[in-house]
């Protein structure tokens, strides 16, 4: 029996084959057509690339101009804001040469001086500190976390006051056990920069002692009413900004940027806030109104 559907499908297949053959023949036979299409595509791509290169060059020129303007404006914006002030730098949980250099440069640009840089030894050597504190209230330090916090409070007060307090010699006595690094001299400070690194590899007991000491240290600094700011780099992970906020500290999250160094100077001069380029920041810099009210 003759099947019309089969016949129709056969005709469609023949027509499709003829169409493909014609197209292939045209493509093979008309090399000029293929060459012309290829040349057109290449020309369009070259034009787009050249246009993008010109635009990139213009943007780079503009960026260079804005960077030059910013670099020229920065010294004027921070000039003498820290005139004659002694600033301290404290590392909690590990020091950083880069941060040390950035802080010194920013403070010096504003007319101040980094008088002392200390790095707190973490985990704390409570036994060694207790031995050095023999004959004082802090001799049983290794046995009491609340005592560790009170000890931290005293160290914070003595650090920013230059040891001019009751038991004023204690910070000097325990320095070897308490600090892993010390540069400068103990003198009265008019501003303090703090950089904290997240503790790692500690036991639960060591972590508890370090947390107690850090809380006490910052409470002691706050009691002396010295401007204090927590800092980190744009690449710092995990970020310590939430920790600084929890301790009621102003903070700067982009110290390695020019704007971050300006924010550091303004906070040391009296501004308060959470500054930087990360999502945790309230703004990049303090407001102009706040800056104009600085001493």
Report the range of poorest mean pLDDT among 33-42, 124-133, 154-163: 33-42
| DSSP assigned state of 204 | H
Distance CA 248, CA 193 (A): 14
Mean pLDDT (whole number) for 162-174? 70
pLDDT at 219: 96
Distance CA 44, CA 288 (A): 49
Number of residues assigned to the chain: 295
Q: 98-113 b/e with 16+ CB inside 10 Å = b?
A: ebbebbbebbebbebe
Mean pLDDT (whole number) for 228-251? 96
Coil vs helix vs strand at 195: strand
CATH of 82-292, one of 2.40.50, 3.40.720, 1.20.120, 3.40.50: 3.40.50
Q: Retrieve residue 266's tokens.
A: 């303004």
Q: What percent of the chain shows pLDDT beyond 70? A: 76
Distance CA 228, CA 88 (A): 9
Residue the block writes with tokens 């904290």: 196
pLDDT in tens, 181-223: 999 988 999 999 999 998 888 999 999 999 999 999 999 999 9
pLDDT at 171: 87
pLDDT at 45: 74
Q: Retrieve residue 287's tokens.
A: 């407001």
pLDDT at 227: 96
Largest CA distance in the chain: 118
Give the contacts of 27 (CB within 8 A, at least 6 positions apart): 33, 34
Instruction: Please report which confidence band the pLDDT of residue 44 belongs to, taking 50, 70 and 90 as the band edges.
Output: confident
Distance CA 250, CA 239 (A): 14
Average pLDDT, the chain: 83
Mean pLDDT (whole number) for 154-161? 92
Q: In this structure, how many other beta carbons lie within 10 angstroms of the beta carbon of residue 142?
A: 17
Domain residue spans of the chain: 4-58, 82-292
Give the contacts of 135 (CB within 8 A, at least 6 positions apart): none
Distance CA 222, CA 226 (A): 6
Find the distance separating the first CA and the last CA of the chain, reported in whole Å: 107
Instruction: Please report which confidence band the pLDDT of residue 267 belongs to, taking 50, 70 and 90 as the band edges.
Output: very high
Instruction: Answer for the pair 120, 88: CB distance below 8 angstroms, yes or no.
Output: no
Instruction: Please report which confidence band the pLDDT of residue 93 belongs to, taking 50, 70 and 90 as the band edges.
Output: confident
Residue the block writes with tokens 């160094």: 261
pLDDT at 52: 77
Q: Retrieve residue 59's tokens.
A: 């943007």
Q: Is the pLDDT of residue 142 over 50?
A: yes
Distance CA 123, CA 278 (A): 29
pLDDT at 37: 66
Q: Is the pLDDT of residue 295 over 90?
A: no
Q: Does 273 or 45 have the greater pLDDT score?
A: 273
Distances (CA, A) of 115 to 110, 183, 186, 187, 229: 14, 8, 8, 7, 16
Q: Retrieve residue 106's tokens.
A: 């920013």
pLDDT at 71: 55
Phi, psi of 8 (to 5 degrees): -65, -45
Q: Does 240 or 137 have the greater pLDDT score?
A: 240
């Amino acid at each position: 029996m003759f099947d019309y559907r089969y016949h129709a499908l056969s005709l469609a297949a023949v027509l499709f084959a003829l169409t493909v053959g014609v197209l292939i023949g045209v493509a093979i036979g008309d090399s000029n057509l293929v060459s012309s299409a290829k040349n057109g595509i290449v020309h369009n791509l070259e034009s787009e690339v050249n246009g993008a290169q010109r635009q990139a060059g213009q943007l780079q020129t503009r960026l260079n101009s804005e960077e030059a303007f910013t670099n020229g404006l920065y010294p004027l914006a921070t000039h003498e804001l820290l005139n004659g002030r002694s600033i301290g730098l404290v590392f909690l949980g590990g020091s950083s040469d880069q941060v040390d250099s950035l802080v010194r440069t920013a403070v010096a640009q504003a007319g101040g001086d980094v008088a002392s840089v200390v790095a707190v030894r973490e985990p704390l050597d409570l036994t060694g500190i207790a031995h050095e504190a023999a004959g004082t209230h802090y001799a049983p330090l290794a046995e009491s976390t609340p005592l560790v916090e009170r000890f931290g409070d005293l160290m914070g007060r003595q650090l920013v006051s230059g040891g001019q307090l009751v038991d004023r010699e204690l910070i000097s006595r325990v320095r070897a056990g308490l600090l892993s690094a010390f540069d400068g001299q103990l003198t009265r400070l008019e501003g303090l920069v703090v950089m904290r690194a997240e503790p790692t590899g500690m036991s639960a007991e060591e972590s508890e002692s370090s947390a107690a000491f850090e809380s006490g240290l910052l409470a002691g600094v706050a009691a002396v009413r010295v401007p204090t700011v927590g800092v980190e780099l744009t690449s710092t992970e995990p970020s310590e900004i939430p920790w600084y906020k929890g301790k009621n500290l102003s903070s700067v999250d982009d110290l390695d940027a020019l704007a971050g160094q300006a924010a550091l100077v303004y906070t040391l001069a009296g501004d308060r806030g959470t500054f930087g380029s990360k999502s945790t920041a309230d703004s990049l810099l303090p407001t102009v109104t706040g800056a104009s009210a600085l001493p």
